Amino acid sequence: MTWVPTGLRARLVITFLLVAVTASAMVAGLGYQIIRRGMLDRAERAAVADVRETLSRITLPIGASDVVWPSDTTVTDQDLGEVVQALEAPERTVIVTYGDHRNSNAGARFTMADVPDQLRWQAARRLVYQRAVLRDHPWLIVATQIQRATRDNVLRPTGLTAYVFVPLSDEETVLFRLRTALAQAGGITLVLALTLALLSARRVLLPVRRLGAAARALGAGELHVRLPVRGRDELAELTATFNETAAALEDSVSELRTLESMSRRFVADVSHELRTPLTAMTAVTDMLSEDAEDLPDDAGEAVRIVVREIDRLRVLVEHLIEISRFDAGAATLRRETVDVGDTLADCLEVRGWADRVKLTVPVGLTFSLDARRFDVIVANLVGNALNHGAPPVVVGARVAVGGEHHGALEVSVRDHGSGIPEQVLPHVFDRFYKAGTERARSVGSGLGLAIAKANAELHGGSIKAERCDPGTLFRVWIPKP
């Protein structure tokens, strides 16, 4: 699996290092090649010049006339040895040939078998030289046929061919040291490049980090956050754009909050204004409901419809008033230690649900909570299960063990209906939310679950809805004080 850097810092550092390493490697490689070529060329020129000069000083022996050692002249090993001795130098190997005769200096490391065939053929025509690696070391082979000027200053071949093996070990040592120095310099360059890359990446990414921190603060609700604009580059332009966006967002949110505050204040005022006439209307409808049985069928049905709608309106107004208290921050918590089983039983009994709900609570389970608000939570959850679920409806309570809710009071309400659709679950605790248009006129204000959630959170707890098979499960956790 290939590792791919994902962070911007890593990418910047790696890019910087690649550029630095590539550039330094190219410069070092090019410099090394230039120096190597210059050194070897200088060594070649020096060796060739030395051979030429030495050969020009040689006095050819024995009966030399116009042409040295013509075909009828006898050449001895001593004659060849004198030429070898003239060309000899420390660490050199010198081989001189004349026809089938061979002679070399003492301690010679090489023979004619080490001379390339092409070099032999070319040496018969002119002075040639070639670098070769022999016995794992570099050597320069200089080969030439020895010529001598006649009395008429005409160069004539003598029939002698000299092969001089010049060592290049000194140049190789210098080049090895140069390679070592370049490698060490490359390592130092890499460290310096890494340091510069980290510093440069930090300098480049610092505004990006500031933008990221400011964006997170903005997302957390700190709409006043702004960043100083430094410079005139792209990051400065991005910072200025962020500040403009944050300012526009702050203005929009401030306007929305003002409108929301006004609407909540309006709802609270209307709810309180409706409460007094609704109280009077409820008293009248109570009297009418007592006489509904004695009225004609149409009149009695009309009275019952009015009673139901006024009761729905009363519940809606009470819910609106309750929500307005939470919005205004006026909701308070009054904890007391209660018997959870008795409290749940009373909640069901008062509303006439005792026969329709199965209650499973350990005997003697007590907990510290606000009894009135706990009653509101349970009533809303059970009422929702009875109105929109299917029997049996089961209410349970226990002290949670383990997990994030360890030690908290856990109350569960489950029905066995068709269940809440998955796409609806995230919205069930929203205000006035009803799943589907068919529930627009259903029983309930659309605020019950929102009020249950608000009361649970006032206790420092939480509430969750889950889809079961079959039905829906609501769970409430109320932590210890």
Identify whether residues 276 and 257 lie together within a single domain. Answer: yes
- Residues 6 or more apart whose Cβ sits within 8 Å of residue 139: 131, 132, 133, 165, 166, 167, 168
In this predicted model, which residue has the larger pLDDT, 110 or 302?
110
pTM listed for this prediction: 0.48
Q: Tell me what pLDDT residue 64 has.
A: 43
Q: Tell me what pLDDT residue 438 has.
A: 44
The answer to whether position 242 is within a domain reads yes
- Reported as a pLDDT band with limits 50, 70 and 90, residue 335 is very high
Q: Are the C-beta atoms of 340 and 375 separated by less than 8 Å?
A: no
Identify whether residues 256 and 386 lie together within a single domain. Answer: no
Q: Which contiguous run of DSSP H or E holds residue 118?
A: helix 117-123
The answer to whether position 144 is within a domain reads yes
The answer to whether position 83 is within a domain reads yes
Q: Tell me what pLDDT residue 66 has.
A: 42
Q: Is 300 helix (H, G, I), strand (E, B) or coil?
A: helix
Q: Which of 95-104, 145-154, 235-244, 328-337 has the lowest mean pLDDT?
A: 145-154
Q: Are the C-beta atoms of 198 and 100 separated by less than 8 Å?
A: no
Identify whether residues 294 and 398 lie together within a single domain. Answer: no
The answer to whether position 189 is within a domain reads no
Q: pLDDT tens digit string along 447-465?
A: 888 889 998 999 999 999 9
> For 152-165, what is the mean pLDDT?
79
Identify whether residues 52 and 127 lie together within a single domain. Answer: yes
- Residues 6 or more apart whose Cβ sits within 8 Å of residue 343: 371, 374, 375
Identify whether residues 145 and 24 lie together within a single domain. Answer: yes
Identify whether residues 308 and 385 lie together within a single domain. Answer: no
Q: Would you say residue 267 has pLDDT above 70?
A: no
Q: Tell me what pLDDT residue 59 has.
A: 59
The answer to whether position 205 is within a domain reads no
In this predicted model, which residue has the larger pLDDT, 213 or 68?
213
Choosing from 175, 200, 222, the residue where a domain stops is 175
The answer to whether position 446 is within a domain reads yes
Q: Is 396 helix (H, G, I), strand (E, B) or coil?
A: strand
Choosing from 309, 328, 347, the residue where a domain stops is 328
Q: Tell me what pLDDT residue 152 has.
A: 65
Q: pLDDT tens digit string along 312-321?
A: 777 777 777 7
Identify whether residues 83 and 156 lie together within a single domain. Answer: yes
Q: Are strands 409-414 and 472-478 parallel, antiparallel or unpaired?
A: antiparallel
Q: Are the C-beta atoms of 110 and 134 separated by less than 8 Å?
A: yes
Choosing from 294, 328, 362, the residue where a domain stops is 328
The answer to whether position 212 is within a domain reads no
Write the CATH number for 102: 3.30.450
CA-nearest of 428, 376, 369 to 399 is 369
Identify whether residues 29 and 168 lie together within a single domain. Answer: yes
DSSP state of 389: S
Write the CATH number for 360: 3.30.565.10
Identify whether residues 348 and 426 lie together within a single domain. Answer: yes
What range does the domain containing 63 cover?
Answer: 8-175
Q: Tell me what pLDDT residue 151 has.
A: 62
Q: Tell me what pLDDT residue 268 has.
A: 66
Q: pLDDT tens digit string along 185-200?
A: 888 888 888 888 888 8
The answer to whether position 450 is within a domain reads yes
Q: Are the C-beta atoms of 342 and 375 separated by less than 8 Å?
A: no
What is d(CA 171, CA 183) in angstroms, rounded to the nearest whole number? 18
What's the number of domains the chain is made of? 3
Identify whether residues 279 and 341 lie together within a single domain. Answer: no
Task: Write the CA distances from 261 to 253, 255, 324, integer angstroms.
Answer: 12, 10, 10
Identify whether residues 474 and 342 lie together within a single domain. Answer: yes
Q: pLDDT tens digit string along 347-358?
A: 999 989 999 999
Identify whether residues 152 and 17 lie together within a single domain. Answer: yes
In this predicted model, which residue has the larger pLDDT, 196 or 444?
196
Six token digits for residue 31 = 């410099």
